[in-house]
Copies of this chain bind each other. A is one copy, B any other.
Amino acid sequence: MTPSRANVVGTGLIGASIGLALRGQGWHVTGSDRDEARAKEALAHGALDEVGTDPDAQVTFVATPVSSVAAVARRALAGTSGFVTDVGSVKGPIVAAVGSPRFIGGHPMAGSEQEGLQGADAQLFAGATWVLTPTEATDAGAYALVRSVVSSLGADVVAIPPDRHDALVALVSHVPHLVAATLMGLAAEGAEEHASLLRLAAGGFRDMTRVAAGHPGIWPDICAENRTAIVSALDSLLTSLSGMRAVVEAGDRAGLLAELERARAARTNLPGGVARPEDLCEVRVPVADRPGVLAEVTTLAGELSVNIADMEIAHSSEGERGVLLLVVDAVDAERLRSALVDRGYRPSAHPLS
Protein backbone atom coordinates (compact mmCIF):
# COMPACT_ATOMS: atom_id res chain seq x y z
CA MET A 1 0.00 0.00 0.00
CA THR A 2 1.60 3.25 -1.14
CA PRO A 3 0.70 6.00 1.33
CA SER A 4 -1.21 8.86 -0.17
CA ARG A 5 -3.76 11.44 1.03
CA ALA A 6 -6.85 10.74 3.15
CA ASN A 7 -9.76 12.59 4.75
CA VAL A 8 -11.28 11.66 8.07
CA VAL A 9 -14.70 13.11 8.90
CA GLY A 10 -15.51 12.72 12.58
CA THR A 11 -12.51 12.61 14.90
CA GLY A 12 -13.86 10.47 17.73
CA LEU A 13 -12.40 7.14 18.81
CA ILE A 14 -12.57 5.42 15.42
CA GLY A 15 -11.80 8.42 13.22
CA ALA A 16 -8.81 9.50 15.31
CA SER A 17 -7.50 5.91 15.44
CA ILE A 18 -7.69 5.72 11.65
CA GLY A 19 -5.82 9.04 11.44
CA LEU A 20 -3.10 7.86 13.81
CA ALA A 21 -2.69 4.56 11.98
CA LEU A 22 -2.56 6.13 8.51
CA ARG A 23 -0.14 8.87 9.55
CA GLY A 24 2.07 6.21 11.09
CA GLN A 25 2.36 4.71 7.61
CA GLY A 26 3.22 8.01 5.98
CA TRP A 27 -0.23 9.11 4.80
CA HIS A 28 -1.22 12.76 4.78
CA VAL A 29 -4.43 12.96 6.78
CA THR A 30 -6.83 15.88 6.74
CA GLY A 31 -9.73 15.81 9.15
CA SER A 32 -12.81 17.59 10.35
CA ASP A 33 -15.46 17.23 12.99
CA ARG A 34 -18.87 18.77 13.57
CA ASP A 35 -17.25 20.06 16.76
CA GLU A 36 -14.29 22.07 15.48
CA ALA A 37 -12.56 22.04 18.87
CA ARG A 38 -12.50 18.27 18.68
CA ALA A 39 -10.82 18.35 15.27
CA LYS A 40 -8.17 20.68 16.69
CA GLU A 41 -7.60 18.31 19.60
CA ALA A 42 -7.15 15.47 17.12
CA LEU A 43 -4.57 17.60 15.30
CA ALA A 44 -2.74 18.30 18.56
CA HIS A 45 -2.90 14.58 19.39
CA GLY A 46 -1.13 13.70 16.13
CA ALA A 47 -4.15 12.06 14.50
CA LEU A 48 -4.27 14.65 11.69
CA ASP A 49 -1.85 16.62 9.55
CA GLU A 50 -4.33 19.42 9.20
CA VAL A 51 -7.90 20.39 9.97
CA GLY A 52 -10.20 20.78 6.97
CA THR A 53 -11.12 18.86 3.83
CA ASP A 54 -8.64 17.63 1.25
CA PRO A 55 -10.17 17.68 -2.27
CA ASP A 56 -7.30 15.47 -3.50
CA ALA A 57 -7.86 12.73 -0.91
CA GLN A 58 -7.69 9.26 -2.42
CA VAL A 59 -10.02 7.98 0.29
CA THR A 60 -12.35 9.58 2.82
CA PHE A 61 -13.38 7.78 6.02
CA VAL A 62 -16.75 8.90 7.40
CA ALA A 63 -16.65 8.18 11.13
CA THR A 64 -19.71 10.10 12.35
CA PRO A 65 -22.71 8.70 14.27
CA VAL A 66 -24.76 6.23 12.26
CA SER A 67 -27.71 8.57 11.75
CA SER A 68 -25.61 11.20 9.94
CA VAL A 69 -23.33 8.95 7.85
CA ALA A 70 -25.35 9.04 4.60
CA ALA A 71 -25.54 12.85 4.43
CA VAL A 72 -21.87 13.29 5.36
CA ALA A 73 -20.80 10.68 2.80
CA ARG A 74 -22.76 12.43 0.04
CA ARG A 75 -21.04 15.73 0.89
CA ALA A 76 -17.65 13.98 0.84
CA LEU A 77 -18.39 12.45 -2.58
CA ALA A 78 -19.30 15.90 -3.89
CA GLY A 79 -16.08 17.40 -2.49
CA THR A 80 -13.53 14.90 -3.83
CA SER A 81 -13.04 12.59 -6.79
CA GLY A 82 -11.66 9.86 -4.47
CA PHE A 83 -13.43 6.93 -2.88
CA VAL A 84 -15.51 7.21 0.30
CA THR A 85 -16.17 4.64 3.02
CA ASP A 86 -17.72 4.70 6.48
CA VAL A 87 -17.54 2.87 9.82
CA GLY A 88 -21.20 2.73 10.86
CA SER A 89 -22.62 -0.38 12.55
CA VAL A 90 -25.61 -0.59 10.20
CA LYS A 91 -25.01 -0.85 6.46
CA GLY A 92 -28.09 -1.45 4.29
CA PRO A 93 -29.90 1.87 4.79
CA ILE A 94 -26.63 3.83 4.53
CA VAL A 95 -25.43 2.15 1.34
CA ALA A 96 -28.88 2.60 -0.23
CA ALA A 97 -29.09 6.26 0.79
CA VAL A 98 -25.62 7.15 -0.49
CA GLY A 99 -26.13 5.32 -3.78
CA SER A 100 -22.75 6.05 -5.38
CA PRO A 101 -20.31 3.60 -7.05
CA ARG A 102 -17.49 5.54 -5.35
CA PHE A 103 -18.90 4.70 -1.91
CA ILE A 104 -18.32 1.41 -0.13
CA GLY A 105 -19.83 0.69 3.27
CA GLY A 106 -17.58 -0.49 6.09
CA HIS A 107 -17.85 -1.60 9.71
CA PRO A 108 -14.73 -2.20 11.81
CA MET A 109 -15.55 -4.51 14.74
CA ALA A 110 -13.28 -2.64 17.13
CA GLY A 111 -13.76 -0.41 20.11
CA SER A 112 -12.14 0.71 23.30
CA GLU A 113 -13.03 1.26 26.91
CA GLN A 114 -11.97 4.89 26.61
CA GLU A 115 -14.31 6.83 24.41
CA GLY A 116 -13.30 9.59 22.03
CA LEU A 117 -9.79 10.81 21.42
CA GLN A 118 -8.60 9.38 24.77
CA GLY A 119 -9.11 5.87 23.49
CA ALA A 120 -7.62 6.52 20.05
CA ASP A 121 -4.83 4.14 19.16
CA ALA A 122 -3.02 3.34 15.91
CA GLN A 123 -3.22 -0.35 16.89
CA LEU A 124 -7.00 -0.34 17.46
CA PHE A 125 -7.70 -2.39 14.33
CA ALA A 126 -4.86 -4.90 14.64
CA GLY A 127 -6.45 -8.32 14.34
CA ALA A 128 -9.99 -6.90 14.29
CA THR A 129 -12.59 -7.96 11.73
CA TRP A 130 -13.47 -5.11 9.34
CA VAL A 131 -16.57 -5.72 7.27
CA LEU A 132 -16.81 -4.15 3.81
CA THR A 133 -20.12 -4.25 1.97
CA PRO A 134 -19.58 -3.98 -1.78
CA THR A 135 -22.66 -4.22 -4.00
CA GLU A 136 -23.06 -4.80 -7.74
CA ALA A 137 -22.99 -1.04 -8.18
CA THR A 138 -19.71 -0.57 -6.30
CA ASP A 139 -16.71 0.51 -8.37
CA ALA A 140 -14.19 -2.36 -8.28
CA GLY A 141 -11.43 0.19 -7.66
CA ALA A 142 -13.22 1.47 -4.56
CA TYR A 143 -13.36 -2.00 -3.06
CA ALA A 144 -9.75 -2.81 -3.96
CA LEU A 145 -8.41 0.44 -2.56
CA VAL A 146 -10.40 0.50 0.68
CA ARG A 147 -9.65 -3.17 1.20
CA SER A 148 -5.93 -2.67 0.96
CA VAL A 149 -5.95 0.44 3.16
CA VAL A 150 -7.97 -1.35 5.81
CA SER A 151 -5.78 -4.46 5.60
CA SER A 152 -2.71 -2.26 6.04
CA LEU A 153 -4.17 -1.19 9.41
CA GLY A 154 -3.91 -4.83 10.50
CA ALA A 155 -7.61 -5.64 10.13
CA ASP A 156 -9.02 -8.85 8.66
CA VAL A 157 -11.41 -7.85 5.88
CA VAL A 158 -14.67 -9.75 5.47
CA ALA A 159 -16.79 -8.74 2.45
CA ILE A 160 -20.56 -9.24 2.77
CA PRO A 161 -23.57 -7.63 1.07
CA PRO A 162 -24.98 -4.78 3.21
CA ASP A 163 -28.29 -6.46 4.04
CA ARG A 164 -26.54 -9.66 5.00
CA HIS A 165 -24.29 -7.71 7.36
CA ASP A 166 -27.32 -6.10 8.96
CA ALA A 167 -29.15 -9.41 9.33
CA LEU A 168 -26.11 -10.99 10.89
CA VAL A 169 -25.36 -8.24 13.40
CA ALA A 170 -29.06 -8.22 14.29
CA LEU A 171 -28.76 -11.93 15.04
CA VAL A 172 -25.44 -11.98 16.89
CA SER A 173 -25.47 -8.58 18.55
CA HIS A 174 -28.66 -6.52 18.51
CA VAL A 175 -31.24 -9.22 19.24
CA PRO A 176 -29.09 -10.98 21.87
CA HIS A 177 -28.85 -7.64 23.66
CA LEU A 178 -32.63 -7.21 23.60
CA VAL A 179 -33.06 -10.81 24.79
CA ALA A 180 -30.66 -10.29 27.69
CA ALA A 181 -32.61 -7.23 28.77
CA THR A 182 -35.91 -9.09 28.44
CA LEU A 183 -34.69 -12.09 30.47
CA MET A 184 -33.37 -9.80 33.16
CA GLY A 185 -36.61 -7.85 33.28
CA LEU A 186 -38.63 -11.06 33.61
CA ALA A 187 -36.42 -12.46 36.34
CA ALA A 188 -36.65 -9.21 38.29
CA GLU A 189 -40.42 -9.27 37.96
CA GLY A 190 -40.59 -12.94 38.93
CA ALA A 191 -38.55 -12.35 42.05
CA GLU A 192 -40.22 -9.69 44.12
CA GLU A 193 -38.09 -10.74 47.06
CA HIS A 194 -35.29 -10.10 44.58
CA ALA A 195 -32.21 -10.08 46.75
CA SER A 196 -32.65 -13.50 48.26
CA LEU A 197 -34.39 -15.30 45.41
CA LEU A 198 -32.15 -14.14 42.60
CA ARG A 199 -29.36 -15.91 44.46
CA LEU A 200 -30.69 -18.95 42.64
CA ALA A 201 -29.37 -17.39 39.45
CA ALA A 202 -26.28 -19.38 38.60
CA GLY A 203 -23.32 -18.50 36.40
CA GLY A 204 -25.13 -19.14 33.13
CA PHE A 205 -27.73 -16.51 33.92
CA ARG A 206 -25.06 -14.03 34.94
CA ASP A 207 -23.23 -14.62 31.66
CA MET A 208 -26.41 -14.28 29.64
CA THR A 209 -27.54 -11.03 31.19
CA ARG A 210 -24.17 -9.32 31.58
CA VAL A 211 -24.67 -7.10 28.54
CA ALA A 212 -27.92 -5.84 30.06
CA ALA A 213 -25.80 -3.94 32.60
CA GLY A 214 -24.44 -1.67 29.85
CA HIS A 215 -25.55 1.89 29.19
CA PRO A 216 -28.70 1.80 27.05
CA GLY A 217 -28.01 5.15 25.35
CA ILE A 218 -26.83 3.79 21.99
CA TRP A 219 -29.72 1.36 21.47
CA PRO A 220 -32.50 3.65 20.24
CA ASP A 221 -30.30 4.69 17.30
CA ILE A 222 -29.21 1.15 16.52
CA CYS A 223 -32.78 -0.15 16.71
CA ALA A 224 -34.00 2.69 14.51
CA GLU A 225 -31.31 2.25 11.84
CA ASN A 226 -31.41 -1.54 11.78
CA ARG A 227 -35.12 -1.88 12.47
CA THR A 228 -35.95 -4.15 9.54
CA ALA A 229 -33.24 -6.69 10.28
CA ILE A 230 -33.89 -6.62 14.03
CA VAL A 231 -37.63 -7.18 13.66
CA SER A 232 -36.95 -9.99 11.22
CA ALA A 233 -34.40 -11.63 13.57
CA LEU A 234 -36.83 -11.26 16.48
CA ASP A 235 -39.48 -12.98 14.38
CA SER A 236 -37.11 -15.87 13.70
CA LEU A 237 -36.31 -16.09 17.39
CA LEU A 238 -39.99 -16.04 18.36
CA THR A 239 -40.66 -18.86 15.91
CA SER A 240 -37.73 -20.93 17.14
CA LEU A 241 -38.60 -20.38 20.79
CA SER A 242 -42.19 -21.42 20.14
CA GLY A 243 -40.75 -24.56 18.58
CA MET A 244 -38.65 -25.15 21.69
CA ARG A 245 -41.75 -24.63 23.85
CA ALA A 246 -43.61 -27.26 21.82
CA VAL A 247 -40.75 -29.73 22.21
CA VAL A 248 -40.73 -29.22 26.01
CA GLU A 249 -44.50 -29.38 26.33
CA ALA A 250 -44.67 -32.57 24.28
CA GLY A 251 -41.91 -34.14 26.37
CA ASP A 252 -40.03 -34.83 23.13
CA ARG A 253 -36.71 -35.94 24.61
CA ALA A 254 -35.12 -36.85 21.27
CA GLY A 255 -36.18 -33.55 19.69
CA LEU A 256 -34.80 -31.59 22.62
CA LEU A 257 -31.50 -33.45 22.56
CA ALA A 258 -31.18 -32.87 18.81
CA GLU A 259 -31.72 -29.10 19.22
CA LEU A 260 -29.24 -28.87 22.06
CA GLU A 261 -26.64 -30.99 20.27
CA ARG A 262 -26.90 -28.79 17.20
CA ALA A 263 -26.44 -25.65 19.30
CA ARG A 264 -23.56 -27.24 21.12
CA ALA A 265 -21.75 -28.08 17.90
CA ALA A 266 -22.28 -24.54 16.60
CA ARG A 267 -21.13 -22.93 19.85
CA THR A 268 -18.03 -25.10 19.96
CA ASN A 269 -17.17 -23.99 16.43
CA LEU A 270 -17.69 -20.31 17.19
CA PRO A 271 -14.49 -18.62 16.06
CA GLY A 272 -12.69 -17.12 19.03
CA GLY A 273 -10.55 -13.99 18.87
CA VAL A 274 -7.73 -14.00 16.38
CA ALA A 275 -7.05 -17.69 16.65
CA ARG A 276 -9.20 -20.44 15.19
CA PRO A 277 -10.89 -22.73 17.71
CA GLU A 278 -8.97 -25.73 16.47
CA ASP A 279 -5.77 -23.94 17.51
CA LEU A 280 -7.02 -23.32 21.04
CA CYS A 281 -7.44 -25.41 24.12
CA GLU A 282 -9.37 -24.79 27.31
CA VAL A 283 -7.63 -25.55 30.59
CA ARG A 284 -10.05 -25.88 33.51
CA VAL A 285 -8.57 -25.41 36.96
CA PRO A 286 -10.73 -25.90 40.06
CA VAL A 287 -9.67 -23.13 42.45
CA ALA A 288 -10.58 -21.73 45.82
CA ASP A 289 -11.88 -18.19 45.84
CA ARG A 290 -9.06 -16.59 47.84
CA PRO A 291 -6.43 -13.93 47.18
CA GLY A 292 -3.39 -15.24 45.40
CA VAL A 293 -4.81 -18.15 43.45
CA LEU A 294 -5.41 -16.20 40.26
CA ALA A 295 -2.02 -14.59 40.60
CA GLU A 296 -0.31 -17.94 41.05
CA VAL A 297 -1.96 -19.45 38.00
CA THR A 298 -1.49 -16.46 35.73
CA THR A 299 2.08 -15.88 36.91
CA LEU A 300 2.86 -19.46 36.08
CA ALA A 301 1.39 -18.94 32.60
CA GLY A 302 3.51 -15.82 32.22
CA GLU A 303 6.70 -17.65 33.33
CA LEU A 304 5.99 -20.36 30.77
CA SER A 305 5.28 -17.68 28.11
CA VAL A 306 1.83 -19.15 27.63
CA ASN A 307 -0.51 -16.47 26.33
CA ILE A 308 -3.98 -16.50 27.87
CA ALA A 309 -6.38 -15.74 25.01
CA ASP A 310 -9.43 -15.76 27.24
CA MET A 311 -10.17 -16.34 30.86
CA GLU A 312 -13.13 -16.49 33.15
CA ILE A 313 -14.08 -17.69 36.57
CA ALA A 314 -17.05 -20.05 36.51
CA HIS A 315 -18.54 -20.19 39.97
CA SER A 316 -19.82 -23.69 40.51
CA SER A 317 -22.08 -22.43 43.27
CA GLU A 318 -22.79 -19.27 45.18
CA GLY A 319 -19.97 -20.37 47.41
CA GLU A 320 -16.29 -19.89 47.70
CA ARG A 321 -15.10 -22.23 45.03
CA GLY A 322 -14.95 -21.95 41.30
CA VAL A 323 -13.28 -23.10 38.17
CA LEU A 324 -10.79 -20.97 36.36
CA LEU A 325 -11.24 -21.40 32.61
CA LEU A 326 -8.14 -20.48 30.64
CA VAL A 327 -8.16 -20.51 26.87
CA VAL A 328 -4.63 -20.92 25.55
CA ASP A 329 -2.91 -21.95 22.33
CA ALA A 330 -3.34 -25.68 21.89
CA VAL A 331 0.42 -26.17 21.58
CA ASP A 332 0.90 -24.64 25.05
CA ALA A 333 -1.93 -26.41 26.85
CA GLU A 334 -0.13 -29.55 27.98
CA ARG A 335 2.87 -27.57 29.20
CA LEU A 336 0.60 -25.36 31.31
CA ARG A 337 -1.45 -28.29 32.55
CA SER A 338 1.51 -30.29 33.77
CA ALA A 339 3.08 -27.24 35.43
CA LEU A 340 -0.20 -26.69 37.26
CA VAL A 341 -0.24 -30.33 38.37
CA ASP A 342 3.27 -29.81 39.76
CA ARG A 343 1.90 -26.96 41.87
CA GLY A 344 -0.83 -29.14 43.31
CA TYR A 345 -3.75 -28.05 41.11
CA ARG A 346 -6.10 -30.53 39.45
CA PRO A 347 -6.45 -29.03 35.97
CA SER A 348 -7.92 -30.67 32.91
CA ALA A 349 -7.34 -29.64 29.28
CA HIS A 350 -9.91 -29.84 26.51
CA PRO A 351 -9.58 -28.90 22.83
CA LEU A 352 -12.00 -26.12 21.91
CA SER A 353 -13.21 -27.89 18.81
Q: Report A's interface with B, CB cutoff 8 A.
A: 108-114, 121, 123-129, 131, 154, 156, 158, 160, 165, 167-169, 171-173, 175-188, 190-191, 194-202, 204-217, 219-220, 223-224, 227, 230-231, 233-238, 240-242, 244-245, 248-249, 251, 253, 256-257, 259-264, 266-274, 276, 284, 286, 289-292, 294-296, 298-303, 305-313, 315-321, 323, 346, 348
Given contacts A182-B263, A213-B264, contact A208 B205 (CB under 8 A): no
Q: Are B200 and A131 in contact (CB under 8 A)?
A: yes
Residues of B within 8 A of A312 (CB): 311-313
Q: Are A248 and B269 in contact (CB under 8 A)?
A: no
Q: Give the residue among A121, A253, A264 with the most B Cβ atoms within 10 A.
A: A264
**20 pairs, CB–CB < 8 Å, chain A vs chain B:** A109-B200, A110-B316, A113-B316, A127-B317, A131-B200, A156-B199, A156-B318, A171-B186, A172-B200, A173-B204, A184-B267, A190-B236, A204-B210, A208-B208, A212-B263, A217-B257, A227-B249, A235-B245, A294-B308, A298-B299
Residues of B within 8 A of A165 (CB): 200
Residues of B within 8 A of A111 (CB): 316-317
Query: B129, B200, B230: which contacts A199 (Cβ < 8 A)?
Result: B129
Cβ of A205 to closest chain B Cβ, rounded Å: 5
Q: Are A216 and B260 in contact (CB under 8 A)?
A: yes
Query: B190, B230, B271: which contacts A171 (Cβ < 8 A)?
Result: B190
Q: Are A241 and B240 in contact (CB under 8 A)?
A: no
Q: Are B319 and A305 in contact (CB under 8 A)?
A: no
Given contacts A112-B286, A187-B171, contact A124 B319 (CB under 8 A): yes
Q: How far is the CA of A175 from the CA of B169 in the complex (A)?
A: 23
Q: Give the residue among A261, A263, A298, A313 with the most B Cβ atoms within 10 A.
A: A263
Q: How far is the CA of A146 from the CA of B1 in the complex (A)?
A: 73
Cβ of A40 to closest chain B Cβ, rounded Å: 24
Q: How far is the CA of A178 from the CA of B346 in the complex (A)?
A: 31
Q: Are A295 and B301 in contact (CB under 8 A)?
A: yes
Q: How far is the CA of A187 from the CA of B267 in the complex (A)?
A: 10
Cβ of A168 to closest chain B Cβ, rounded Å: 5
Across the interface, name the chain B residue whose C-beta is closest to A239: B186
Q: How far is the CA of A259 from the CA of B201 in the complex (A)?
A: 21
Residues of B within 8 A of A323 (CB): 113
Q: How far is the CA of A108 from the CA of B202 in the complex (A)?
A: 12
Query: B131, B204, B233, B348: which contacts A180 (Cβ < 8 A)?
Result: B204
Cβ of A191 to closest chain B Cβ, rounded Å: 6
Q: How far is the CA of A181 from the CA of B259 in the complex (A)?
A: 7
Q: How far is the CA of A289 from the CA of B199 in the complex (A)?
A: 33
Q: Are A190 and B167 in contact (CB under 8 A)?
A: yes
Q: Are A212 and B110 in contact (CB under 8 A)?
A: no
Query: B168, B272, B320: which contacts A200 (Cβ < 8 A)?
Result: B168
Q: How far is the CA of A204 from the CA of B269 in the complex (A)?
A: 17
Q: Are B127 and A267 in contact (CB under 8 A)?
A: no
Q: Are A242 and B238 in contact (CB under 8 A)?
A: yes
Residues of B within 8 A of A126 (CB): 319-321
Given contacts A219-B257, A308-B294, contact A237 B201 (CB under 8 A): no
Residues of B within 8 A of A321 (CB): 112, 121, 123-124, 126
